[in-house]
Chain A
Amino acid sequence: MSHILAKSRGLLLPLLLIGGWEYLSRQDAAGAYAFVPLSAIGAAFIELLANGELLVNLWASLARTSTGLALGIFFGVLLGVLMALSTLGNRLIGPLFHSIRQVPMLGWIPLIAMWFGNGEFSKVLIVSLAAFYPMVLNTWQGFSHVEQRYREVGQVLVLNRWQRFRHVLLPAALPSIATGVLQALAFAWVTAVGSELFLSSGAGLGNLMMNAEAGSRMEVIVLSVLCIGLCGYLMTLLFTLLSRHLLRWRNIR
């Protein structure tokens, strides 16, 4: 019994919040508009599920996030490794990278929109940029902090460059890279929805929200917000479980 209670502690606050929400929605007309009743949200959920709008938009946002994330991880790891393992690379790229990453993601949107229009390419580009920064930083961190004592073992066993990378540096950097992916995941998801709000073309949860705002459908906006939060949570959870399995050699007690 206490075990079940302990496990469900995380549900306590959300339930209280829902209760408070429902209470406020029943106070007066203004309250009912600002805090749409749960029943209205439920009805909107069923409606959008039935006409396919919810899934189409959710799928569009997820696909955008995944593509951008994959690109950001790939190029982020590449650049991070280059900066960590090559002094010349770090000298050449470091200053530029560190000044460019000071520009907030939202600051890029006007420029990217002017260059590439407001289509799919721009959105994926923005998402991959958002994933790119944390990947570069964490990969660099991981590769440049490999313990000297492990490098020496690679030297003693006369491993060649590739073997040292594959068997010593990469696994030693993996926990840091996993942290990067976790951050990149969160940024990518948030930025995907953000880009949909700013570049309103095509499908996506952001577009669903924009359209709902135009049609004053508060319950659809709230439903979208709930969807965004829940999906982000599930993705993070999934990746945390995956990395825990991949990094099971770590001594976490």
Chain B
Amino acid sequence: MNAIAQYAPPHSTSLQSGALHIRGLNKVYRIEGQPLPVLEDINLEVRPGEFVSIVGASGCGKSTLLRLIVGLEADYEGDILLDGKRIVATSLERGIVFQDHRLFPWMTLSQNIALALKNHPLSRAEKDRLVAEHIALVSLEGFENAYPHQLSGGMAQRAAIARALINKPKVLLLDEPLGALDALTRVRLQHELQRIWVQQRCTVIMVTHDIEEALYLGDRVIVMDAHPGRIKHEIKVDLPHPRDRASSVLQGYKEHLLEELVGH
């Protein structure tokens, strides 16, 4: 997997990496003064360009883990290192797509995507070109001036993906990105996510409820346990991308994973 040539960002001189090291991570919420452990002793190494899926019951802290990695919560014990640097705040090196698309309803699709470039020292023309490029990447040409309420759920989620990718993040975090979509749209977008990832090759960590989705996209699937959230099991999906959804190998992994989750 590492042998594949890294996608070189057009507007960044630094070499794109994206190695994530999580060591001895603990996270505790305080509810009415009572400590509530959400994550306990999480250790995870993610190689640059790897696609890691995380599955697990609700309450296992999957989303909290993503919020910590993206930098929305800075108060944690242990280490979360991106290329050796400790994560303490949000950064354009890390992008996230939430389950609800979170496009701003007061901006058109292209304005929403362009907002992510707000603090880039690029020229106006350069920014316009990048926005157009990313709208094309998620196949939304023709909807540049539509407001989010005029888009379908799947289209809005594609736009959110484009917004997260436009900064060429080293790490892309996906928090149940397709969870709110209907089954058909979901399959179509899974396919598209795979195509985009093969093209961009950034490190991806995706939280999902859908086992098939986790296996279809992930190089590795991490199974988490709840109360407190911890890593229970890990499966390496040894199958090159792009993958065939109907592959019998995937079927085998699925049975294995189901057994692990339901615990027969």
Contact residues of A with B, CB < 8 Å?
Answer: 149-150, 152-153, 155-160, 163, 167-168, 171-172, 174, 248-251
Contacts and interface: CB of A to CB of B under 8 A. Distances in A.
A156 B115 contact: no
10 contacts: A149-B98, A149-B100, A152-B72, A156-B70, A156-B71, A156-B96, A157-B116, A158-B92, A249-B105, A250-B105
A158 B96 CA distance: 12
A153 B102 contact: yes
Contacts of A156: 70-72, 90, 95-96
Contacts of A157: 90, 92, 115-116, 118
Interface in B89-122: 90-92, 95-96, 98, 100, 102, 104-107, 115-116, 118-119
B106 A174 contact: yes
B231 to A, nearest CB: 25
Nearest to B111: A167
Given A155-B72, A156-B70, A158-B91, A171 B106 contact: yes
Interface string B15-56: 000000000000000000000000000000000000000000
A172 B106 contact: yes
A152 B90 CA distance: 10
Contacts of B98: 149
Interface residues of B, number: 22
B90 A149 contact: no
A160 B92 CA distance: 13
Contacts of B91: 158
A249 B96 contact: no
Majority-rule SS of B interface residues? loop
A225 to B, nearest CB: 40
Contacts of A150: 102, 104
B147 interface: yes
A251 B72 contact: no
B243 interface: no
Contacts, number: 54
B102 A249 contact: no
A221 to B, nearest CB: 46
B11 interface: no
Given A171-B107, A249-B107, A249-B148, 7 more contacts: A152-B102, A153-B104, A155-B90, A159-B118, A163-B118, A167-B104, A167-B115
Interface string B150-177: 0000000000000000000000000000
A212 B70 CA distance: 71
A251 B105 contact: yes
Contacts of A172: 106
Contacts of A159: 115, 118-119
Across the A-B interface, the 3 shortest Cβ-Cβ residue pairs:
A251-B149, A171-B106, A249-B106
A163 B95 CA distance: 18
A189 to B, nearest CB: 29
B106 A160 contact: no
Contacts of A248: 147
A152 B91 CA distance: 12
Nearest to B96: A156
B73 to A, nearest CB: 10
B83 to A, nearest CB: 18
Nearest to A174: B106
Contacts of A153: 102, 104
Interface string B70-94: 1110000000000000000011100
B104 A158 contact: no
Contacts of A160: 119
B119 A158 contact: yes
A168 B72 CA distance: 17
A157 B10 CA distance: 19
